Structure 1
């Protein structure tokens, strides 16, 4: 008898348990505003990986690169140094190559030419980063907009039909809040991506500055 009652209670509890909502079904409840939010997420991810590959390629420097360049310059083998920079595909090599081309001119002129190339390399790495930043700012705003539109629609329906039930209001509110939560999450993801890429660009800029300084020091060595 006890086992029968326990079985009945378990069945009743299972019947009264709240139904689990699948993630995609929950997101679909957000309405049409979820479409631009999804597009923003795809856009941010696509540009993140595209920029990451570009920055990694531009900032990768062989640890022995500058040592070899310095040896060639000190030994007067300018052509070998130029050949090495031409066959190396990164930002540092392109900056050093410009410096090698200007050897024989005043040090200020060489430094300025290298700075110009450095600025161009920075632009190449930072290009399209603002798109990710825009997504980080716009996604939460779109999410809030979706929630506001949904709330206006819900209260309009309540006012039109004259039905004011707590369950209806609570259900409508949690559905409309989906867009806000989604927008905030997408904005956070985009912000993390943007910050990470900016950090990588800063590291690349530091490598370029160090290499430029070493190269200029080598050129001024005989004058010491």
Structure 2
């Protein structure tokens, strides 16, 4: 591994750091964007059942705030249950915006890595080309310096692509998943409001 890094030259360190950050973000988002952590399917009926049994209690609100992301949206609506429909709707929308920001966390960074990694690879390629041209002397070329320049150019180009491709694929996957979860949260919140106001059967 160290021999590969040495052959790729100092520009590879930028790509190594970018790859570590990308892997960390991908792992964290895979864990955080599980359906059970964001929009569990059984949460709405449980909340409605408990509300009809005990009403809005501090225990219910606290449990929802400490649970999945959808629970925090529900908690915002339940806390304003005695207010008008508009106030309930506004409180849910505010909580939904906060939840969306939480779901979007680190995705901009991952997208930036996907865009920048090929440029970092290109930068390494340019450094390698400079090394190649620097190997030319009036008496010929220095084969060691020439070979090192070629390895810098090729390794950085390949590693830049290797970092960029998974990053962009996971970025698009997470982006689509977040969008779907936001829509699902909106639908669940609308159902909750309608049930609480007696406009829909549970």
Whether the TM-score (by the shorter chain) exceeds 0.5 is: yes
* Equivalence for 1:185: 162
Cα displacement (A) at 1:181:
1.3
Q: How does 1:88-99 map to 2 (within 5 A)?
A: 88=64, 89-99=67-77
Compared CA separation, residues 194 and 149, structure 1 to 2 (3 A): same
User: Is the CA contact (8 Å cut-off) linking 1:60 and 1:90 kept in structure 2?
Assistant: yes
1:51 aligns with 2:24: no
Map Cα deviations across residues 141-174 of structure 1 (whole Å, 9 max, x no partner): 011011112112211321x2442699x9688546
Matched residue count: 198
- Measured in 1, the distance between the counterparts of 2:26 and 2:166 equals 11
- Higher CA-based Rg: 1
The CA RMSD over aligned residues, in Å, is: 2.9
- Measured in 1, the distance between the counterparts of 2:148 and 2:199 equals 79
Cα displacement (A) at 1:196:
2.2
Extract unaligned runs of 5+ from structure 1: 1-22
Compared CA separation, residues 162 and 176, structure 1 to 2 (3 A): farther
Q: How does 1:61-210 map to 2 (within 5 A)?
A: 61=40, 63-73=41-51, 75=52, 77-79=54-56, 83-88=59-64, 89-158=67-136, 160-163=137-140, 172-173=149-150, 175-210=152-187
User: Is the CA contact (8 Å cut-off) linking 2:107 and 2:171 kept in structure 1?
Assistant: yes
Match of 1:214 among 183, 187, 191: 191
User: Is the CA contact (8 Å cut-off) linking 1:30 and 1:178 kept in structure 2?
Assistant: yes
Cα displacement (A) at 1:120:
0.6
Q: TM-score, normalized by length of structure 2?
A: 0.83
Compared CA separation, residues 137 and 212, structure 1 to 2 (3 A): same
